[in-house]
């Protein structure tokens, strides 16, 4: 029943997206949240409980007692078996896409929660491979080419610098003018640093990549 509900919600969301109006945009975002919550979030819900001096026994390779000011209670529909297999299934899809691309002499720049950034000429290969898994009553791609939210530009055949799964930037670089356009950047690993502009950090890393002779000059900004 839950699977049918999620399917119907997504199909209605797809219908609203095609209308492309302000009202339909708001409603389709509401349906997106409901679909995510009922198909996954509800099974992994953990509610924090703030209370001073709570005595807790921690079980692992060793067991020990500890006193905490914050603990977590399971949600009403908490089901770790369902939630773990849902995420495992998603990782299996990403691993399959990665294997498919590499076996056909392509490359994977990075994977994120539900996306994979691959060599541009292998996009259709991946889309066609997963097309039979589409459960909806509309023809949609399992992997859609991402768009830049500000410019609506399709992020196909753009440049990427990827350090790890959650540390990457998508951008364009104009060789003639030196202009850098950043479409998407991750800020993981920078949150503990005060006074840091994450986008500027990536801008400087891109400059270093394209102008290695300026590395010392650019890095001097961060010496303190």
**Mean per-residue pLDDT, 115-131:** 93
Distance (Å, whole) CA 134 – CA 131: 6
Distance (Å, whole) CA 13 – CA 3: 15
pLDDT in tens, 6-19: 889 999 998 988 88
pLDDT in tens, 159-190: 999 888 788 999 999 999 999 999 989 888 77
**Mean per-residue pLDDT, 191-217:** 89
Tokens of 186: 């991750």
Is pTM beyond 0.85? Reply is no
In this model, does residue 219 exceed pLDDT 60? yes
pLDDT band at 1 (very low <50, low <70, confident <90, very high): low
For the chain, the average pLDDT equals 89
pLDDT of residue 3: 66
Q: What is the DSSP letter of 127?
A: H
**Mean per-residue pLDDT, 133-158:** 87
Tokens of 39: 């198909």
**Mean per-residue pLDDT, 86-94:** 91
Q: How far apart are the first and last CA of the chain?
A: 57
pLDDT of residue 46: 92
In this model, does residue 192 exceed pLDDT 80? no
The answer to whether residues 118 and 129 touch, using CB atoms and an 8 Å cutoff, is no
pLDDT in tens, 63-80: 999 999 999 999 999 998
pLDDT of residue 186: 87
pLDDT in tens, 21-65: 888 888 989 999 998 888 888 999 999 999 999 899 999 899 999
pLDDT of residue 200: 92
pLDDT of residue 2: 56
In the chain, the DSSP E strands lie at 46-59, 63-74, 108-111, 116-118, 159-164, 167-173, 180-185
């Amino acid at each position: 029943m839950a699977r049918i509900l999620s399917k119907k919600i997504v199909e209605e969301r797809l219908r609203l997206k095609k209308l492309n109006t302000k009202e339909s945009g708001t409603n389709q975002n509401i349906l997106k949240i409901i679909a995510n919550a009922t198909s996954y979030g509800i099974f992994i819900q953990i509610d924090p409980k703030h209370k001073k001096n709570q005595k807790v026994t921690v079980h692992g390779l060793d067991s020990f007692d500890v006193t905490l000011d914050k603990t977590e209670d399971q949600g009403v529909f908490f089901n770790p078996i369902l939630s773990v297999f849902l995420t495992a299934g998603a990782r299996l899809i990403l691993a399959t896409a990665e294997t498919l691309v590499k076996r056909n002499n392509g490359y994977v720049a990075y994977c994120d929660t539900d996306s994979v950034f691959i060599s541009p000429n292998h996009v259709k290969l991946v889309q066609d491979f997963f097309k039979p898994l589409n459960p909806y009553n509309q023809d949609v791609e399992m992997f859609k080419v991402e768009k830049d939210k500000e410019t609506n530009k399709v992020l196909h055949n753009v440049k990427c610098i990827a350090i790890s799964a959650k540390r990457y930037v998508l951008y364009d670089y104009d060789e003639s003018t030196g202009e850098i356009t950043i479409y998407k950047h991750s800020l993981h690993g920078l949150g503990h640093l005060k006074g840091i502009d994450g986008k500027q950090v990536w801008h400087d890393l891109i400059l270093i990549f394209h102008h290695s002779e300026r590395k010392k000059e650019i890095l001097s900004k961060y010496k303190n």
